[in-house]
Structure formats: C-alpha cells, structure tokens
C-alpha cells in the first residue's frame, strides 16, 4: 500500500504492454520491459519479480500456446474482460456515451487512439495514466479500482499469473490487491459455447424434446440459378 502517489510512467507502460496480445514484437521487447521495471523500482520487489517471471514466460514458452492462452483468458468470459465498461454497462446503450467521454479525456490530453482501439481497454487506460503527473495518474486509477479489483479476483480464481499485472495496477492506485466476491461464470462465455451435437433432437426432428416442430419451406432453385456458396 503506497502512502503517497508514486510517479511510475515506465511501470505503467510495462503493465499496459502485458495486457496486449502477446505477439512477436512484445516477446522481443521482454528484456527491455524487465529492465524498465527494475530500474524504476516503483513497485514492491516481490511484485516486480512476479511481473518479470510472467514476461519470461511469454518470452520463453511456445508462442502459439502463449497466444492461445491469452485469448482464452481475456476474450472468452466476462469476468476477465479487459474492456472496463463491459463490467459496468455490459452491452447496454450507456456504454457508447461512456466510451465517447473517455476518448475525449484522452484527446484533451493530446492523445489519440490507434485505428481499432477502444478507449475502455485497460491497456489503453494504463498508457494514458502513464502520461499524467503522479497525482492525476493515481486518482484516475483509483476511480477504476473497483473494476480492476474485480478482474484481479477473476484472474486469481483461475490461478493466472496475469493477476500480478492487475495487482500492480491496484498498488499504483494506492489500493490493496485484495480479492472480492464475484459471481461465478461458466468456463466458456455462453456466447461462445458450442451447441451439443444433435442435442435433444427427437426422431421427428424437433430441436428439443416436447418443443413444437418447426416447418421450413424452402424454394427449390431453378436449373439455371447458381447455388449459394457455403
């Protein structure tokens, strides 16, 4: 727990890098990122060791496995989602105006998003904080601490080493990295879950037992009409 705001621009940028897709460029930068963490020494030594171990894992292990693990962890489930407003607004209409407000905050500071980036992604939020003075960065990160703590708790539940990244973000906000109760979620987000093959189909072709059987009328194409491409 920090007693006063800590100026930690390099550490915040390392945390932001760790929350981006672990591509070849990130793996190549691992020695530089490790050096930045240790040189700035803005975090407790034990936390820096955890972060350096995670970086080493990304650098050393099979790239395909590392990338697949990242996608499975952060893109397939709401509890570990890195888009902050998803935890607050879900897919409701309120998320759009909140995104616009946050983007305008960045632009007032002279910062503009790259094509395809969303302003509420935690990596973008941390990069923005890294450009601000210590007090402003501290207060900005403290405002989102309840969301950061929720993601941290979800990562701890999965026993993921990425939990150390969220713990470090909390510490730089002057907060304790403590777990909170979060609702359980399925291993796969329901939106990604595959339907069971022939699950519940009756001999009459019903989609589930005791459900009405739909009738589909399909117009037969004429001989000269090209078929649809699969």
Residues 2-59 pLDDT 10s:
556 788 999 999 999 999 999 999 999 999 999 999 999 999 999 999 999 999 999 9
End-to-end CA distance of the chain: 57
Please answer whether residues 185 and 77 qualify as being in contact, where contact means their C-beta atoms are separated by less than 8 angstroms.
yes
Strand, coil or helix: what is 72? helix
Q: Which of 4-8, 22-26, 81-85, 110-114 has the highest mean pLDDT?
A: 22-26
Closest CA to 120 of 102, 147, 141: 102
pLDDT in tens, 119-149: 989 999 999 999 999 999 999 999 999 999 9
Angle at 229 between CA 227 and CA 230, to 5 degrees: 125
Calpha distance 179→134 (Å, rounded): 26
Please answer whether residues 73 and 50 qualify as being in contact, where contact means their C-beta atoms are separated by less than 8 angstroms.
no
């Amino acid at each position: 727990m920090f007693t006063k705001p800590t100026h930690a621009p390099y550490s915040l940028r390392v945390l932001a890098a760790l929350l981006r897709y672990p591509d070849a460029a990130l793996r190549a930068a691992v020695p530089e990122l490790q050096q930045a963490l240790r040189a700035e020494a803005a975090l407790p030594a034990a936390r820096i060791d955890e972060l350096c171990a995670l970086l080493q894992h990304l650098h050393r292990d099979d790239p395909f496995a590392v990338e697949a693990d990242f996608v499975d962890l952060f893109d397939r489930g709401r509890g570990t989602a890195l888009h902050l407003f998803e935890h607050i607004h879900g897919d409701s209409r309120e998320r759009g105006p909140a995104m616009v407000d946050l983007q305008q905050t960045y632009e007032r500071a002279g910062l503009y998003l790259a094509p395809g980036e969303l302003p509420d992604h935690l990596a973008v939020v941390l990069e923005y904080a890294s450009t601000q003075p210590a007090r402003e960065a501290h207060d900005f990160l403290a405002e989102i601490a309840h969301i950061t703590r929720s993601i941290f708790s979800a990562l701890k539940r999965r026993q993921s080493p990425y939990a150390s990244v969220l713990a470090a973000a909390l510490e730089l906000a002057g907060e304790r990295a403590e777990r909170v109760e979060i609702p359980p979620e399925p291993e796969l987000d329901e939106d990604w879950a595959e339907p069971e093959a022939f699950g519940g189909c009756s001999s009459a072709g019903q989609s589930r037992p005791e459900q009405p059987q739909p009738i589909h009328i399909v117009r037969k194409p004429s001989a000269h009409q090209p078929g649809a491409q699969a």
